[in-house]
Amino acid sequence: MLDADGVAAEVLFPDGITERNAPPFGADIGLRVTQTPELQWAGARAHNRWLAEFCSEDPVRRIGLAVIPALYDMEENLKEIRWAHQNGLKGIFLPAMTPEGYALYNHKKYHPMWALCEDLGLPVHFHSGASPAYDVSQEGWIGTYLCEFAFWLTRPMWSMIFGGVFEYYPKLKVLFTEAGGEFWFPWMLELMDIRASAKHTSGKLGDYNTNMTMKPSEYFRRNMWVGCSALPDEETTESYYKIGIDRIMWGTDYPHPEGTWPATHEKMTISLGGLPEADIQKMLAGNALGAYDLDEAALWKLASKIGPVKADFTQKAA
């Protein structure tokens, strides 16, 4: 399937909603707080050990992420992160939501975790999925979720930026996947910069930006990436440049039904055709090589055999 799609490597998230094979005990894509943290940790460890074995079968093409239920016990977090790195996993996956009673990611209790991830070169990942509980018996709950999910996914973005995390850990890498990046991030970057400028309307709230030496958008463009699963079939590509071509990683969302398979090549050329060759290459490959510790030579060799050819993107697909 990957060869036919022209995909040399893929980042593996703990999402089995469609296939009904998610990790057990809530150690899945939502990573919601549970009443039994010990069970959720057991599910996470089971998944991580399976995933490390799975990735070891093809370490060039499989980019595994360790599930870390980070809100409970910092020592457990650090122990599992070290294990993940020692066993070939390429990043960690954290809960996006921090419910009442649990610290946001601007809290200094998380600093040992950021320090370790920075030291080991492990990117931190947040993925859409988690949200407050909805009354699914009522009409409109799906539409409500679809309008809100990006907020809950990217809440760690502004809490970490305004919390000064990237001042303390300037080499920390953070990635957000499936936020509807093409419409969500441009206006969020603008909003954060406006709020950080201490205008008359917000200055009365007190000091909240002296722990930053750059604009929020500048931290974003230094420390963060956006996983865009199946970019939109649009005539305009302006949003890519508002986010920053260096920040976007194109994805197929395989095997989900909303992904590009089995028409990946067509979708790819519709989304990216007609753009400058250097920009396309960044979104399809170069940015990922910068975010992860990968075997670059092996991947380029594989891509030369199965990857899309440059000529396919010379003009916008019909």
pLDDT single digits (tens) 91-137: 999 999 999 999 999 999 999 999 999 999 999 999 998 888 889 89
Nearest to 176 by CA among 138, 235, 128: 128
**CA distance linking residue 120 with residue 172, whole number of Å:** 10
If DSSP states are collapsed to H, E and C, what string results for 51-96?
HHHHHHCCCCCEEEEEECCCCCCHHHHHHHHHHHHHCCCCEEECCC
- Rounded to the nearest 10°, the torsion over CA 180, 182, 187, 193 is 100
Do the beta carbons of residue 175 and residue 126 sit within 8 Å?
yes
pLDDT reported for residue 195? 87
Domain layout of the chain by residue ranges: 2-313
**CA distance linking residue 107 with residue 111, whole number of Å:** 8
pLDDT reported for residue 284? 94
Largest CA distance in the chain: 59
Residue 310 has what DSSP assignment?
G
What tens digit of pLDDT does each residue of 44-83 get?
A: 999 999 999 999 999 999 999 999 999 999 999 999 999 9
Identify the weakest region by mean pLDDT among 8-12, 217-221, 271-275.
271-275
Q: Which amino acid is at 240?
A: Y
Please give the class, per CATH, of domain 2-313.
Answer: alpha beta
